[in-house]
């Protein structure tokens, strides 16, 4: 069988579909390229006109591939996988020879990945900590033992040597069942959960329609990971006589730490986070029920209203229980105030 790849130029490849070729153009090209490019990156290349058929750009990622077709693909130059230090300000809460604790701002990606090779927390940490982070936990995510979403704010701990990385990673993997590890968040959600305190025990896995998203799964699904969130309603905004509310400030304690866990769990029980365009887009029109000033602020709020305000863990060297808290960031304070007074 002939090799489906034929090198055309230094940055181009010709990919020919054989008799077994089938499916969408983006999925087929991704499979042929292997791990070199993600599906989302291939999709972007197609939309940018980087894939040609008989000299014409194929800009529809959904187009079906037919046997015998040869696609010429212009590939971008490879990225250097080793992140470089960048002088990005850090809000340092604590630091010693073993670890650093920071309060992450909104908009800061934790580690380099496709589409975000620079300007990440890892780039900032390499600049701040120097060579001490080199290679700990992997080239692209040195020192990282847990993460927060790009637009989630709050407390994070990062290891500065192998011993600290191993010890902290074990605590996060154990989810605090046998260690002092504790993580708590503040969130502003639409509505008010029926019970003022409760536990959401709903396994999570990748969404079938979009692999960047997470979804609640059945227990017997092979993709399902245990996910448990404990919540408490702290404050209700625009509460009606029947005890309903337009929005609520809640406290969430994680018993597990899955990707997007709080966002998916709260949406699952009908109370998605304000500003969450991924899991709560259908609730955006609820802002129209607010008075003018509050409505404007809520409508313009640029991120999910989620803040990791508390982190507790055992120090990997001394065994001391370390406890850190970060107050609500200014944007969430203003949002709560607008809901409170609007």
Give the catalytic positions in this structure. 149
List strand residue ranges (DSSP E) for the chain, in order.
5-9, 12-16, 51-53, 56-57, 70-74, 92-95, 99-104, 153-159, 182-190, 197-201, 204-206, 214-216, 228-239, 245-254, 306-314, 321-325
Which phi and psi (to 5°) does residue 227 adopt? -145, 120
CA distances from 164 to 133, 212, 319, 327 (A): 11, 30, 11, 26
CA-based nearest residue to 340, from 234, 269, 251: 234
Query: H or E element: which one contains 30?
Result: helix 25-33
Which phi and psi (to 5°) does residue 294 adopt? -65, -40
Which residues lie across from 74 on neighbouring strands?
12
How far is Cα 160 from Cα 56, in angstroms, rounded to an integer? Answer: 51
């Amino acid at each position: 069988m002939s090799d489906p790849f034929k090198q055309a130029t230094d940055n181009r490849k010709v990919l020919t579909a054989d008799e077994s070729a089938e499916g969408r153009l983006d999925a087929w090209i991704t499979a042929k390229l292997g791990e070199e490019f993600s599906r989302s990156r291939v999709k972007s290349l197609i939309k940018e006109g980087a894939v040609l058929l008989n000299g014409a750009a194929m800009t529809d990622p959904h187009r079906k591939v037919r046997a015998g077709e040869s696609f010429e693909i212009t590939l971008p130059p490879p990225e250097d996988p080793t992140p470089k230090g960048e002088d990005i300000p850090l809000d340092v809460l604590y630091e010693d020879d073993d670890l650093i604790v920071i309060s992450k701002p909104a908009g800061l990606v934790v580690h380099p990945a496709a589409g975000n090779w620079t300007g990440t927390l890892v780039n900032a940490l390499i600049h701040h900590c120097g060579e001490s982070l080199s290679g700990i936990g992997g080239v692209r995510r040195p020192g990282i033992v847990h993460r927060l979403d790009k637009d989630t704010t709050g407390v994070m701990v990062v290891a500065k040597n192998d011993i600290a990385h191993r010890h902290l990673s074990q605590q996060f993997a154990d989810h605090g069942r046998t260690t002092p590890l504790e993580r708590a968040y503040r969130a502003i959600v639409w509505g008010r959960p029926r019970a003022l305190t409760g536990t959401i025990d709903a396994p999570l896995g990748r969404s079938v329609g979009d692999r960047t998203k997470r979804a609640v799964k059945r227990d017997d699904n092979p993709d399902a990971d245990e996910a448990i969130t404990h919540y408490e309603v702290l404050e209700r905004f625009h509460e009606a006589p029947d005890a309903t509310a337009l929005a609520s400030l809640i406290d969430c304690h994680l018993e597990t730490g899955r990707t997007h866990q709080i966002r998916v769990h709260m949406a699952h029980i009908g109370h998605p986070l304000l500003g969450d365009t991924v899991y709560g887009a259908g609730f955006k029109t609820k802002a129209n029920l607010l008075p003018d000033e509050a409505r404007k602020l809520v409508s313009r709020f640029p991120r999910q209203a989620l803040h990791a305000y508390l982190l507790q863990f055992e120090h990997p060297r001394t065994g001391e229980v370390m406890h850190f808290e970060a107050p609500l960031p200014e944007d969430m304070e203003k949002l709560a105030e607008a809901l409170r007074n609007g």
